[in-house]
């Protein structure tokens, strides 16, 4: 859909933000074995949608970023906490690329800043688990117009 923000666009924006500050490999799909460290995995955990008005909705993308440090890291816990703090700063706002129609009907890419909320991280089994929510308000197009009825005022009796 024109101008719609999807989980894939948010994942790509997160990956771009991480890539700018870390040299680690980034995976956007789950890889169970044979991945190189250090690396990040980015997932869309879930998506919630709430109706605010007739056509206005709020969609909440719950994202998870996992960081696997070098196996030989002698300061593993400190490294994971340091990366978690950097991610909390870097992912508090991301620029999501969307396509919008310009004045001449052509589609133009525009960066839309989206703020992260409910940011938290923890270290579990030597892996950093970082969670962040991105709330996006969207207006969905109407599928059908409800026709209005006409009222004939000439045939209405006046009440006294």
Secondary structure of residue 34 in the 3-state scheme: coil
More confident residue, 117 or 155: 117
Spatial CB neighbours of 49, under 8 Å, sequence gap ≥ 6: 57, 58, 59, 60
Closest Cα to residue 65, out of 96, 86, 50, 95? 86
**Choice between 143 and 60, residue whose per-residue pLDDT is larger:** 60
Local confidence band at 1 (pLDDT 50, 70, 90 cut-offs):
very low
Q: Whole-prediction pTM value?
A: 0.79
- Is pLDDT at 41 greater than 90 in this prediction? yes
For residue 55, what are its two tokens? Answer: 């056509």
Q: Give the range among 13-27, 45-59, 75-89, 97-111 with minimum mean pLDDT.
A: 97-111
Nearest CA to 10 among 125, 106, 110, 95? 95
Report helix, strand or coil for 5: coil
């Amino acid at each position: 859909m024109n101008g719609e923000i999807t989980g894939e666009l948010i994942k790509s924006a997160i990956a771009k933000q991480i890539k700018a500050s870390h040299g680690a490999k980034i995976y956007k799909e789950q890889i169970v074995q044979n991945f190189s460290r250090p690396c990040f995995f980015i997932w869309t955990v879930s998506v919630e949608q709430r109706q605010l008005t007739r056509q206005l909705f709020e969609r909440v993308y719950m994202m998870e970023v996992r960081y696997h440090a070098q196996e030989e890291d002698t300061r593993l816990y400190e490294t994971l906490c340091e990366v978690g703090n950097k991610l909390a700063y870097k992912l508090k706002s991301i620029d999501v690329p969307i396509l919008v129609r310009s004045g001449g009907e052509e589609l133009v890419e525009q960066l839309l800043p989206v703020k992260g909320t409910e940011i938290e991280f923890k270290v579990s089994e030597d892996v950093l688990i970082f969670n962040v929510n991105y709330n996006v308000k969207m207006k969905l197009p109407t599928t059908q117009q409800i026709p209005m009825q006409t009222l004939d005022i000439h045939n209405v009796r006046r009440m006294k």
